[in-house]
Structure 1
Amino acid sequence: MKSIFTNTALVLLGFGTLLSSCSKPQQSQKTGMTYNTRNNGGYLRFKQTHPTPGPGLVPIEGGTFVLGGSADQDVTYDYNNVRRRVTVPSFYMDETEVSNQDWLDYLHWINITFPNDGELYYNALPDTLVWRKPLSYNEPYVENYMRHPAFQDYPVVGVSWDQAQDYCVWRTDRTNENILRENNYMMTWKDAAGGKKGKAGAGGGAQGGLKEPFNTDIYLNGQIRGAGVDGKNMPRDQNPNATGTGKNAPRRPVRIEDGILKQGYRLPSEAEWEYAALALAGNTEFENINDGKVYPWNGLGVRSPGRKTRGLILANFKRGSGDNAGVGGGLNDKADITAPVRSYEPNDFGLYNMAGNVNEWVADTYRQTSFEEVEDFNPFRGNQFTNKRLADPTKGLYAKDKYGRPIKDPSRSNKKQKYSEMIAQQQGLNNGTAPNGTPNAAPANGAAQPGTGGTVPPTTPDAIKYSGKAYNPDFRGENDAVNTVLYGSTTLVNDHSKIYKGGSWNDLAYWMNPATRRFMDEDEASAEVGFRCAMTMVGAPEIHPEGKPHLPVKKAKPYKAR
């Protein structure tokens, strides 16, 4: 009995020691200063976290793969997917394509938030006329496809690349606002609507009591706070300059360092999309890929080899001329046009319809030779670098457009400017002139500037002084006098040409290969093109570390001042 009591005491002692060690305040490894106390200046160390994906997303563990490697033929003779080994970082991707219901949510928000802005609502409407064909009776789809409840789980189509980009921005802001309100970091939806009684005029509705719609960048810059906005669970402000004690202890808005808000939704890059569609992780063991793929599933065919599903078509595509569905009484893919976004089996990453159903927009600008020219880490073509304009440079306040979003101007330098340069530039922008005194033609919030293809030639003197030429924030080849990438041939390819991939309900099986690529102008739409969103993953790239060997990481020893 004595040994039992002794062992129990030792266990309790060890547990108490563990608790006491956990409760010790953290210290800086370089100065020994204690974190998270107002007594010594309020130095902050935030809880280290690995963020979870935003709503609708699944994690994709990145790695190396051969871009264009799954293509076994080039029937179009484009020579536009030359094989190239690259590395794609881990990221998140939508489990399904964006559906009609998702888009109706977007339209509803616009309608109730800006009820008098008919232009904004009209510009967000998909082009349902994409269904019209001169010699085909598709008029019922024009009227019904997007709005009829029978199609609510079907992928949205008729959406341009530009519209998809706007949806990503909207989705980011709504997701982050909902996180803040549901956790009472901002006033909750219920309180903003007047509490249980829901009193009229209490400040609720689409904007939740805000004068302008919530925007993530504006919030993180400290420009959304105050009475009627702040929530009860706002983090405590450890800054010793902040005033208040007890119940009135100072609070602050959530910061990016808290790890609470999600990274922005966006279109996936072409490399990310192709990597996610192949899902070779399911065929990999000890860094050896056992089998390659032609489609998002294993095998060379398009029919299921499973015992219970043998012979069933694995995706929604066109088997041949005039065969979109099969024979009545035995439809092959169970769809004549598009199918619900969760139709068919997901690939090994858990993604639905990465082949067939609808083609999907990706973020890249099209060039025939991109695979040969892009970087081998996180390859992407389409960068247009921008900076947020400051309304008050000395206070660091962002300038906002009429929708409450930060105004973005083309980047005018490829490095951090001196403070005096930044102040002079921002004051010049706000006064309508560039730093060298020329009229400021910077477009608001990324709007196209006539004659420049969406960018304004930078005029920063230092850029010319150090490099001999002005800094160009547009890395798509737009401003070249002669675009050698296009080999001097007559072509419709330009910097508004955006890539779509994956094949559709009206495409042959060839286009379901993840390496195939086509392009369309960014403001055009089709009944065969939709999209899904992605999100950058921050932190460690490994998704499932459990059960895998790891080198030990030692903790820093605590410092004792003497």
Structure 2
Amino acid sequence: MTPQRTFSFYFILFTLFTSCKSKPDQSKESVGTSKTIEHVKPSKAPSEAPKGMVWIPGGEFNQGAVPNDNMAMSHEKPAHKVYVDGFFMDIHEVTNAQFAKFIEETGYVTMAEREIDWEEMKKQLPEGTQKPHDSILQPGSLVFKKTKSSVPNLYDYSQWWEWKIGASWKHPNGPDSNIDGKEDHPVVHIAFEDAQAYCKWAGRRLPTEAEWEFAARAQKTDSKFFWGDDIDQLSSHANSWEGEFPVKNTMQDGFERRAPIMSYPKNDFGLYDMAGNVWEWTSDWYNTNYYQKLASNGEVAQNPKGAASAFNSNNPYAKERVIKGGSFLCSASYCASYRISARMATSPDSGMEHLGFRTVHSANMP
């Protein structure tokens, strides 16, 4: 068991994990302007796109919150100039069927399915930490549960998340569930290591945060959402939580939990589900100070790969990666992470019911 998995399991067990935890910044502070963006001529695809992928032309953009986004969280600011080279990207999230083929050919076992070694775990925990009961120290993952009544404190995540023994990509809602008939749903309960293993097998890689956001924006320089700024179009463009979170989902968008891939319109680059459905891994470390550092540099960041090290001011012990895109649990009253600039910090070994991934392929990759 890796040290990070040890840390993650312990904090998950006691609900000390991060999720949409930065409070919305309602100030009117200007965080950048699209008027200063100098677009370069989109680069042409070097070859025919691999099956299931589309070419994302390189270009320059303002990464981070747009000025008119009053739901933007502090860690989405300040906006800063970034340039990314062109790359190929999956048009949709990796599906259960695709992941199953990877498992069949490699025999890979995901982190949610691996046995937990307490002797190894306790080496990474504070001295004197009591061993949880053996009934708890079993493989599993985080599963969403509705609450029976209104929740006054939306920052107490333990109210709607539970560690479910037996939950995994094959059993997304717990051991009594399965993925029969859901081959075209996005695979979930995927830890960072699992996503990387799939990428290696497929000859791909995970996108950087900058690449992911550039692709989601699809050259809509001022827009909060990939379709524009009209929030009334949310239910027709993304799988999110509509209704009172986490009590009742009205399913105005047609789904209560995960939706099949390509259930909603694609963006202008031809990508589906770049808002809602499930969160997606990027390769970047999450560092609270990273955006500020890039902005203060005053230069256009060329193909940034994220912070050199992880740091979360809300939890200095955490070592987290950036995930993007929001999920079926994102609500206007909670974090509204179906916005293009929305981001979240998550432990690399944390698999969850609303976390998956998609892959990219660089022009210079074999």
Q: Please indicate the TM-score interval, normalised by the length of the shorter structure.
A: 0.5 to 0.7
In structure 1, the partner of 2:94 is: 98
Amino acid at match of 1:530: G
Structure 2 Cα separation of the partners of residues 162 and 71 of structure 1: 35
- Counterpart CA distance in 1 for 2:94 and 2:355 is 11
Q: Is the 8 A contact 1:107 1:125 kept in 2?
A: no
2:228 counterpart letter in structure 1: N
Query: Does the CA contact (< 8 Å) of 2:279 and 2:356 recur in 1?
Result: yes
Choose the corresponding residue for 1:83, options 50, 71, 79: 79
Shift of 1:321: 1.7
Residue aligning to 1:157:
188
- The answer as to whether partners of 1:315 and 1:353 remain within 8 angstroms in 2 is yes
Give the structure 2 partner of residue 506 of structure 1.
329
Residues 62 and 77 of structure 1: is their aligned pair in 2 closer, same or farther, counting only changes over 3 Å? closer
Alignment of 1:52-201 (within 5 A): 52-70=48-66, 72-73=68-69, 78-111=74-107, 120-121=108-109, 123=111, 125=113, 129-131=141-143, 133=145, 141-143=173-175, 147-172=178-203
Q: CA deviation at 1:69?
A: 3.8
Superimposed CA distance per residue, residues 363-404 of structure 1 (whole angstroms, 9 cap, x where no aligned partner) = 10011121233461112225xxxxxxxxxxxxxxxxxxxxxx
Q: Is the 8 A contact 1:324 1:506 kept in 2?
A: no
**Amino acid of the residue matched to residue 214 of structure 2?**
Y
In structure 2, the CA distance between the partners of 1:347 and 1:88, relative to structure 1 (3 Å rule), is same
Structure 2 residue 209 is the aligned partner of structure 1 residue 270: yes
Q: Is the 8 A contact 2:112 2:351 kept in 1?
A: no
What does residue 321 of structure 1 align with? 244
Residues 80 and 301 (structure 1), Cα distance of their counterparts in 2 relative to 1, 3 Å cut? closer
Matched, 1:535 2:361: yes
Identity rate, percent: 28
- Note the 1:90-489 alignment, pairs <5 A: 90-111=86-107, 120-121=108-109, 123=111, 125=113, 129-131=141-143, 133=145, 141-143=173-175, 147-172=178-203, 265-280=204-219, 292-303=222-233, 313-322=236-245, 325-326=249-250, 331-374=251-294, 376-381=301-306, 475-476=308-309
Quote the offset at 1:325 in angstroms. Answer: 4.4
RMSD after superposition: 3.1
How many Å apart are 1:134 and its aligned residue? 9.4
Superposition deviation, residue 314 in structure 1? 1.7
| Cα distance change of structure 1 residues 526 and 302 upon mapping to structure 2, 3 Å threshold | farther
Larger Rg: 1
* 8 A contact 1:70–1:514 mirrored in 2: no
Contact 2:112 2:189 in 1 (8 A): no
Conserved? CA contact 1:364–1:498, under 8 Å? yes
Residues 38-73 of structure 1 deviation map (CA, whole Å, 9 limit, x = unaligned): xxxxxxxxxxx9333323211011211111143644
Counterpart amino acid of residue 292 in structure 2 = E
Partners of 1:497 and 1:521 in 2: how far apart?
A: 4
Over 3 Å counting, the alpha-carbon distance change for 1:133 and 1:332 in structure 2 is: closer
Structure with greater helix percent: 1
**Would the alpha carbon gap of residues 122 and 360 (structure 1) be closer, same or farther in structure 2, given more than 3 Å must change?**
closer
Contact 2:141-2:351 within 8 A present in 1 as well: no
Which residue does the alignment assign to 2:38?
Answer: none
Q: 1:511 to 1:275 in 2, by over 3 A?
A: same
**Whole-angstrom distance in 1 between the partners of 2:192 and 2:210:** 17
Q: Which has the higher contact order (CA 8 A, sep 6+)?
A: 2
User: Using the alignment, how far apart are the partners of 1:171 and 1:71 within structure 2?
Assistant: 39
Q: 1:313 to 1:122 in 2, by over 3 A?
A: closer
The gaps in structure 1 that reach 5 residues or longer are 1-48, 112-119, 173-264, 284-288, 305-311, 383-474, 479-484, 540-562
Deviations 1:196-240 (A, max 9, x none): xxxxxxxxxxxxxxxxxxxxxxxxxxxxxxxxxxxxxxxxxxxxx
* TM-score (normalizing by structure 1): 0.43
Q: For 1:273, give the aligned amino acid.
A: W
Structure 1 Cα separation of the partners of residues 205 and 68 of structure 2? 30
Retained in 2: the 8 A contact 1:82–1:372? yes
Unaligned runs of 5+ in 2: 1-44, 115-138, 148-159, 295-299
Any idea what the Cα deviations from partners look like across 1:291-323, whole Å, max 9, x if unmatched? x2111112322427xxxxxxx532100123247
CA pair 295-128 structure 1, distance change in 2 beyond 3 A: farther
User: Residues 76 and 341 of structure 2 are in contact (CA less than 8 Å); yes or no, is this contact kept in structure 1?
Assistant: no
1:268 partner letter: P
Q: 2:316 aligns with which of 489, 492, 506?
A: 492
The aligned amino acid for 2:103 is L
Closer, same or farther in 2 for the Cα pair 1:359/1:71, shift >3 Å? farther
How many equivalent pairs are there?
268
Q: Which moved more, 1:373-382 or 1:343-352?
A: 373-382
Give, in whole Å, the separation in 2 of the partners of 1:84 and 1:508.
26
